[in-house]
Amino acid sequence: MTQTQKAEKVNIAEKLAGFTEQWAQRRIARVNDYDVNVAKLQGEFIWHTHEDTDELFLVVSGTLTIHLRDGDVVLGPGELYVVPRGVEHCPEAVEETSILLFEPTGTPNTGDQGGDRTRAPVNA
Residues 72, 65: contact at Cβ < 8 Å?
A: yes
Give me the residues paired with residue 107 across strands: none
Select from 115, 96, 100, 105 the least CA-distant residue to 47. Answer: 115
pLDDT at 117 over 70: no
pTM (two decimals): 0.86
Residues 15, 28: contact at Cβ < 8 Å?
A: yes
Q: What confidence tens digit (pLDDT) does each residue in 23-43 have?
A: 999 999 999 999 999 999 999
Mean pLDDT, range 97-120, rounded to an integer: 78
Q: What confidence tens digit (pLDDT) does each residue in 63-94 have?
A: 999 999 999 999 999 999 999 999 999 999 99
pLDDT at 111 over 70: no
Which numeric CATH code is attached to 12-107? 2.60.120.10
